[in-house]
């Protein structure tokens, strides 16, 4: 039997076209009906800390907006890198999201010798959802103002030390940024294994100062166990109106160190889904319950930083942190 080659290839082309149209129709239907099942939000840190608490608050609000469960799952380890790398390897379908932070997406690529992911290329940046100020807290035996403390350190270069939650952490960066801003303040750094170790060391007089988040230290400040002498933000916070900003305390104009939180997905998230999540994000961040609970954590919601703006935010933050991190001459394995 003789085969009409022209007819044969026309049939093949028609079949292939039908397949492509069908595939695109299925994809469009899936995107148009997103979300229609539970969404997983990976929090790349252990349970219990401010990041975990905010992640769960956010998941509840986002679930109410989207009408499907948003289930929080902790994937702690390697300063957030394990959970972040897991999301990177996920499907870009909008059903696996990452609760990213300044540690996972600004510090990580600057500090890691062999990074498991690229903070910009390997993720779709959906939204930056909040910022929290870093504070400088002191043993009560120290001088009563930040300016007086700085003067004492300069007069006694080998006497004073500050602590952080670990070498290469964002709180370590904060202490070094203060030193650099003040012209190389001779203040020794002592790393601890988390705030659970650095704060008792501060209260016991092992160190003179520590850098930490406002929410972690505020109750100790109110009880008199430590004294916060500067908030690294551009304004005072309602839960601590007595505490001056670092700018006020030292006569600076633009000293600001803010931890931040963002929602990301694996790279390649379809624009339609990204836009749906961006719109839902801004609605979630306007929820009065969320705003009340985050205020108690000293976190300010940041609606409107979505899509390309979120990507630019992360890129600029990496550039801002880079000079101080390079000066530390420190790398993670």
Judgement on whether residues 62 and 112 belong to the same structural domain of the protein: yes
Domain closes at, from 223, 250, 277: 250
| pLDDT score of 17 | 55
User: Does residue 278 share a domain with residue 194?
Assistant: no
- Is residue 279 over pLDDT 60? yes
Are 237 and 299 part of one and the same domain?
Answer: no
**Cβ atoms 105, 314 nearer than 8 A:** yes
Answer whether residue 137 is part of any domain: yes
Q: Examine residue 268 and state whether it is found in any structural domain, yes or no.
A: yes
Residue 96: C-alpha distances to residues 102, 149, 267 (Å):
20, 47, 11
For the chain, give the mean pLDDT.
90
For the chain, the domain total comes to 2
Of the candidates 250, 275, 305, which is a domain's last residue?
A: 250
Which whole-number Å values give the CA distances from 113 to 44, 102, 315, 332, in the listed order?
20, 18, 19, 6
List the alpha helices (DSSP H) in 80-184: 81-88, 102, 108-111, 146-155, 170-181
Residue range 77-95: average pLDDT?
A: 94
Out of 214, 229, 250, a domain closes at 250
Print the domain residue range for 276: 32-132+259-328
Distances (CA, A) of 61 to 54, 66, 68, 93, 153: 11, 9, 11, 20, 46
Cis peptide before 9 (omega within 30 of 0): no
Query: Which pLDDT score is estimated for 28?
Result: 45
Residue 29 pLDDT: 43
pLDDT, one tens digit per residue, over 209-250 is 999 999 889 999 999 999 999 999 999 888 889 999 999 999
Q: Is the pLDDT of residue 306 over 70?
A: yes
pTM for the structure as a whole = 0.84
Q: Are residues 246 and 316 in the same domain?
A: no
**26: pLDDT strictly greater than 70:** no
């Amino acid at each position: 039997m003789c085969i009409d080659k022209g007819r044969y290839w026309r049939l093949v082309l028609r079949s292939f076209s039908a397949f492509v149209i069908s595939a695109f129709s299925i994809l469009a239907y899936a995107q148009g009906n997103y979300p229609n099942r539970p969404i997983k939000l990976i929090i790349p840190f252990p349970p219990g800390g401010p990041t975990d608490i905010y992640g769960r608050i956010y998941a509840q609000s986002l679930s109410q907006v989207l009408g499907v469960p948003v289930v929080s799952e902790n994937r702690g380890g390697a300063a957030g890198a394990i959970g972040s790398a897991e999301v990177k390897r996920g499907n870009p379908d909008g059903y696996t999201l990452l609760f990213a932070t300044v540690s996972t997406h600004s510090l990580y690529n600057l500090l890691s010798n062999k990074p498991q992911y690229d903070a910009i290329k390997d993720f779709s940046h959906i939204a930056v959802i909040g910022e929290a100020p870093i504070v400088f807290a002191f043993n009560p035996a120290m001088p009563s103002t930040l300016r007086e403390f700085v003067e004492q350190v300069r007069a006694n270069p080998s006497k004073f030390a500050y602590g952080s939650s670990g070498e290469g952490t964002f709180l370590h960066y904060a202490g070094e940024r203060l030193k650099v801003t003040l012209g190389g303040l001779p203040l020794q750094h002592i790393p601890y294994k988390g705030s659970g170790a650095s704060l008792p060391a501060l209260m016991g007089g092992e160190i003179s100062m520590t850098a930490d988040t406002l929410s972690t230290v505020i109750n100790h400040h109110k009880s008199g166990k430590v004294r916060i002498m500067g908030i690294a933000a551009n304004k005072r916070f309602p839960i601590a109106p007595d505490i001056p900003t670092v700018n006020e305390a030292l006569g600076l104009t633009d000293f600001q160190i803010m931890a931040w939180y963002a929602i990301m997905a694996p790279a390649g998230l379809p624009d339609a889904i990204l836009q749906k999540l961006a719109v839902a994000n801004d609605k979630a961040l306007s929820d009065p319950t969320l705003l009340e609970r985050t205020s108690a954590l000293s976190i300010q919601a940041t609606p409107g930083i979505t899509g390309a703006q979120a990507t630019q935010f992360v890129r600029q933050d990496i550039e801002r942190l880079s000079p101080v991190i390079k000066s530390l001459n420190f790398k993670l394995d």
